[in-house]
Amino acid sequence: MNRAEPIHTAGLPVRTTLMIQLENICKSYGQLEVLKSVSLRIEEGQVVSITGASGAGKTTLLQIMGSLDRPDSGIVHIGDTDPYRLSSGKLAAFRNQKIGFVFQFHYLLPEFSALENIMMPALIAGKKTATAKEEACQLLDFLGLKNRKDHKPAELSGGEQQRVAVARALVNRPQVVFADEPSGNLDTANALSLHRLFFELRNRYGHTFVIVTHNRELAEMSDRCIEMKDGIIVADTRKTE
């Protein structure tokens, strides 16, 4: 796959790197055709939102991009890798090291502290405990949760829980983070704070973010807003400076 393609800004050629490439993705569940030959390219370092009504195919598309659900046909590349050509063991390792996931429900382990929850993917990746702890503490500090590291999820607010979930997704420094309605259970202030956080993280660490959301106002903060309807992309709007 040719990952570097020229784009043009202010009349000057600039080179960008493809992080995600989908070609003619189709997916059905029984007689229900959910995705209809969807093609999409997302550049490295973009914050991209995917919007649309319930049933438009947003979450299915996100799961296929994130290697959680295999397409019926079509091609998926994340960086230079086609995850669906990997063995099950290599695919699990690829997800752990290259992809982060943030969901509407944070799925924190209730018996572990915030610090321990964040450390978990790093330990699974084989990092030493001291290294995993140091990297988790750095993220907690950056996210303003340094003083909450020993608290269990039940002792944290909803916004704090979701920030811990974001830190857990980032602890292995993934290439791309997929978020499915990450602010769906948050109030307006915390939802806005979370979406701003994605930009701060992108600017600091260079992550690519792909976010499914029903919140149009928050989606329009993104570098790029993709709208889906009936299993196809009907609009793809890029923010202009």
The two three-digit tokens of residue 114, written as one number? 């915030």
Summarised one tens digit per residue, pLDDT across range 130-141 is: 999 998 998 888
% of the chain at pLDDT higher than 90: 41
Residue 163 makes CB contacts below 8 A (sequence gap 6+) with: 143, 144, 145, 194, 197
CA distance linking residue 116 with residue 103, whole number of Å: 19
pLDDT of residue 1: 38
What mean pLDDT do residues 13-41 have?
A: 86
pLDDT of residue 3: 39
Summarised one tens digit per residue, pLDDT across range 90-128 is: 998 888 888 888 887 777 899 999 999 999 989 988 889
What mean pLDDT do residues 235-240 have?
A: 83
- What is the dihedral angle through the alpha carbons of 183, 226, 70, 53, rounded to the nearest 10 degrees? 60
Summarised one tens digit per residue, pLDDT across range 177-234 is: 998 888 777 778 878 888 888 888 888 888 899 999 887 777 888 899 999 999 999 9
pLDDT of residue 241: 56
| Mean pLDDT score of the chain | 85
pLDDT of residue 16: 63
How do the domains of the chain map onto residue ranges? 46-63+87-238
pLDDT of residue 136: 92
Angle 135-205-84 from CA coordinates, rounded to 5° = 90
pLDDT at 7 over 90: no
Task: Indicate the pLDDT class of residue 9, thresholds 50, 70 and 90.
Answer: very low
Task: Indicate the pLDDT class of residue 144, thresholds 50, 70 and 90.
Answer: confident
> Does residue 142 or residue 27 have the better pLDDT?
27
Task: Indicate the pLDDT class of residue 150, thresholds 50, 70 and 90.
Answer: very high
CA dist list (Å): 186 to 163, 178, 181, 189, 227: 11, 18, 10, 8, 22
User: E strands of 79-198, at which residues?
Assistant: 99-103, 176-180
pLDDT of residue 187: 77
What CATH superfamily is the domain 46-63+87-238? P-loop containing nucleotide triphosphate hydrolases (3.40.50.300)
